[in-house]
Structure 1
Amino acid sequence: MAPTLSKIQKIVIGVAISSTVVDTRKRRKKRSLWAEEIYKQRKRFTPLTMIKVLRSKHFRTYLRMNEECFSQLLSMVRPFIQKQNTILREAVSAEERLIATFRFLSSGCSYTDLMFNTAISPQLLSQIIPETCIAIYKCLKDYIKMPSTTEEWIEVSSDFESKWNFNHCVGAIDGKHIAIKKPPDSGSLFYNYKKFFSVILLAVVNANYEFIYIHVGTNGCVSDSSVLQKTKFYEKLMEDGLNLPSPSTLTNSKITAPYVFVGDSAFALDKNIMKPFPLKNIAHDKRIFNYRLSRARRVVENAFGILSSRFRIFRRAISIDIDNVNTIVLVSCALHNYLSRNN
């Protein structure tokens, strides 16, 4: 039988534990301040004051959108980010949370720099911004939608033909390296051929610079072609599960051709993936084809440029937790589509 403690031993152990707890409490330093003065006077330094002054042409520069779009987004995400006040302190309002998130995305500044613009501590900002981004993406995720019917794919193809003079194109594919701060204990896993740490954003874009499919999170040392082959989009494409239109004759021609996605030379050639001819010893006709394909393919490059111009966070290494980088990229792409249609 296992030995049992006597009543006296239990009493002695209990007294020792209680005395240790009391000594620990005594050794704790008393707080000199419950909160710093800048946080106590948040109403005075709040960005809401700045917003009231900027209700003019500078509003778009400050938040990368007009007042109508901001009000609409605020009404959509308010139920998800609104917090209740307590006896101890007043909660940060939903409007302040949304403004802080947009300023973080549009300026690319750190939490410490953003503290001086919002009068919110960096520790609280590290909680507010990911939570708000998740709420925004829940409301706007339907803006990133891939066509599901043959008629919708034909409509995308007609846009490419009318705007970029390339027939039977249903999307442009490319990858973008999102610069990040090196994750701890990651070695060279996220180190890419461009000599910086990154995660890859793989996107399919329509003729209007809108993302219709995105995949983000793959470490930067992987090639774009390898990323594509691991996506559900590629699986459906290989299994003919995207409901693409059947091959038909080209405009002003008798040639029958399939509907294709266009990409650069990094991708593998397939019946539904078109890439340019190699440039070595290229004939005149092939050079013309490469030029036409480039007109359609550069749409995805332009979309990436508009995204990084609107949200300057992509113009420097994102120095936040790697788990939140994907959320930042997803919500930025959803906001890009939303603002492209409504702003």
Structure 2
Amino acid sequence: VYVPISREQQGEFHGLIHEMKMYHEHFHIYFRISVAQVELLLAELGPHLRRQGNNIRELIDPEQFLATGDSFRTIAFSFRVGVSTVSQIIPQVATAIWDCLVDNFMAVPSTADWWSIAEGFQERWHFPLCCGALDGKHVQTKAPPNSGSMFHNYKGTFSIVLLAVVDARYRFCVIDVRGYGRTSDGGILANSTFGQALRAGTLYLPPDQPLPGEEHRGAQPHVFVADEAFPLRRELMRPFPGRLLPLEKRIFNYRLSRARMIVEGAFGVLSSQWRLYRRSMELRPEIAEKCVKATCVLHNFLRCWDERGAPAVRGVAPAVVEPLQGLGRVAANNSSREAVLVREKFMAHFSAEGAVSWQPKE
């Protein structure tokens, strides 16, 4: 929905967000966010984005870069400033966006937050005890100097990896940025703070409980859903491998894929909103990380908005955004017997009490 804003609000917004693409008086300006959202952004970011120099208030906003991915030289020409000025201000503003919004729109999930996410997956995607969909996205960058093949990925490009857990409403719950492009998704998970917390059991997930209507099968853990690139673990479900599978396994794969596609949808929305994802970033990895984090928290800001136009301040978040400290040893992909049993319980549930009307039946 495009909401027109008044000339007074345009003037205030021009003072905060540079008049790029808005400078002509005959232009009719529309935003994909509501007036209330604009006002909140102004209130939150204004004090951090304004710079004082030579008694002249200066402000350059990275919106042009986040929205288009243009080079620093192009942006410098558009704003009539030096390239070095742009190279300093863009990471500073990206950091300010993250620092101002992260506590309200990507806070570290508590046990109550995991409960809420699991209820959302049960209600919207018919996957019980699911605390999020997990996947990685390659963010293309130019090859950093003297990096060798560290950032070279299987697609033949150079990238850093955005590892993300997404809730049932396409909001980022947990992100981990700056994984090396050459590393597999399973390796990124193993070396991430989130993966380490998952293995150590320190994510504060809700206690085990029976699947709906299946108390006789016993309590089951809350899980995350992922594709076949990730290992099968007690709290991490992946599909059964192979093609010629029995009906029960095909049903499980379908139900898991239906819930897992939420993270693919979130990446798609992110790429459509911020065009810097459509080209290679000519940035150092640490600067690219700041921009990726800024777009992720802005994505949540735009989605965490209830029907009354006020921000929903439920946590979705990143206790996992610390940079990786090296590849280390990737954990073995062998599944424990307990993880196999958990997946079999979910498989049986989806073909019995948890069956839905549109899935195939014998």
Aligned CA distance change for structure 1 residues 124 and 67 (closer, same or farther; 3 Å): farther
Structure 1 runs of 4+ aligned residues shifted over 3 Å read: 51-56, 64-68
Match of 2:201 among 230, 240, 245: 240
What is the distance in 2 between the residues matched to 1:292 and 1:51? 50
What is the distance in 2 between the residues matched to 1:241 and 1:55? 52
Q: CA deviation digits over 1:227-274, x for unaligned, max 9?
A: 111222222222222222222221233433221000001111111100
Aligned match of 2:106: 144
SS in 2 for 1:50: coil
What is the distance in 1 between the residues matched to 2:177 and 2:113? 25
Aligned match of 1:293: 256
Q: Where do residues 324-343 of structure 1 align in structure 2 (5 Å cutoff)?
A: 324-342=287-305
Aligned CA distance change for structure 1 residues 288 and 54 (closer, same or farther; 3 Å): farther
Higher relative contact order, structure no. (Cα contacts within 8 Å, ≥ 6 residues apart) = 2
User: Contact 1:107/1:311 (CA < 8 Å) preserved in 2?
Assistant: yes
Does 2:124 correspond to 1:174? no
Aligned match of 2:48: 80
Q: Where do residues 105-184 of structure 1 align in structure 2 (5 Å cutoff)?
A: 105-142=66-103, 143-149=105-111, 151-184=112-145
What is the distance in 1 between the residues matched to 2:261 and 2:143? 30
Segment of structure 1 superposing worse, 268-277 or 78-87 = 78-87
SS in 1 for 2:297: helix
Offset at residue 52 of structure 1 (A): 7.5
What is the distance in 1 between the residues matched to 2:114 and 2:49? 36
CA RMSD of aligned residues (A): 2.2
What is the distance in 2 between the residues matched to 1:47 and 1:335? 20
What is the distance in 2 between the residues matched to 1:165 and 1:171? 13
Aligned match of 1:59: 30
Match of 2:37 among 45, 52, 69: 69
Give structure 1 stretches of 5+ with no counterpart: 1-42
SS in 2 for 1:174: strand
Aligned CA distance change for structure 1 residues 55 and 245 (closer, same or farther; 3 Å): farther
The one-letter code of the counterpart of 2:46 is R
Instruction: Give the aligned length.
Output: 287
SS in 2 for 1:331: helix
Aligned CA distance change for structure 1 residues 194 and 163 (closer, same or farther; 3 Å): same
Q: CA deviation digits over 1:189-243, x for unaligned, max 9?
A: 1000111000011011111111111111121001111111122222222222222
What is the distance in 1 between the residues matched to 2:25 and 2:261? 39
Aligned CA distance change for structure 1 residues 154 and 91 (closer, same or farther; 3 Å): closer
Aligned match of 1:50: 22
Give structure 2 stretches of 5+ with no counterpart: 1-14, 310-362
Offset at residue 116 of structure 1 (A): 4.4
Aligned CA distance change for structure 1 residues 154 and 84 (closer, same or farther; 3 Å): closer
The one-letter code of the counterpart of 2:223 is V
User: Contact 1:47/1:117 (CA < 8 Å) preserved in 2?
Assistant: no
Aligned match of 2:325: none
The one-letter code of the counterpart of 1:47 is E
Offset at residue 163 of structure 1 (A): 0.5
Q: Where do residues 139-288 of structure 1 align in structure 2 (5 Å cutoff)?
A: 139-142=100-103, 143-149=105-111, 151-254=112-215, 255-256=217-218, 257-288=220-251
Aligned CA distance change for structure 1 residues 191 and 54 (closer, same or farther; 3 Å): farther
The one-letter code of the counterpart of 1:50 is M
Offset at residue 49 of structure 1 (A): 8.4
Mark the structure with the bigger radius of gyration.
1
What is the distance in 1 between the residues matched to 2:93 and 2:259? 35
Aligned CA distance change for structure 1 residues 326 and 49 (closer, same or farther; 3 Å): closer
User: Contact 1:59/1:66 (CA < 8 Å) preserved in 2?
Assistant: no
Aligned CA distance change for structure 1 residues 49 and 191 (closer, same or farther; 3 Å): closer
> What TM-score does the superposition give when structure 2 sets the normalisation length?
0.74
Q: CA deviation digits over 1:18-65, x for unaligned, max 9?
A: xxxxxxxxxxxxxxxxxxxxxxxxx9xx62782684885x432xxx54
Q: Percent identity?
A: 38
Offset at residue 171 of structure 1 (A): 0.7
Offset at residue 125 of structure 1 (A): 1.3
SS in 1 for 2:136: strand
Match of 2:276 among 290, 313, 318: 313
Q: CA deviation digits over 1:98-121, x for unaligned, max 9?
A: 3xx112101111122223443333
The one-letter code of the counterpart of 1:83 is R
Offset at residue 187 of structure 1 (A): 1.4
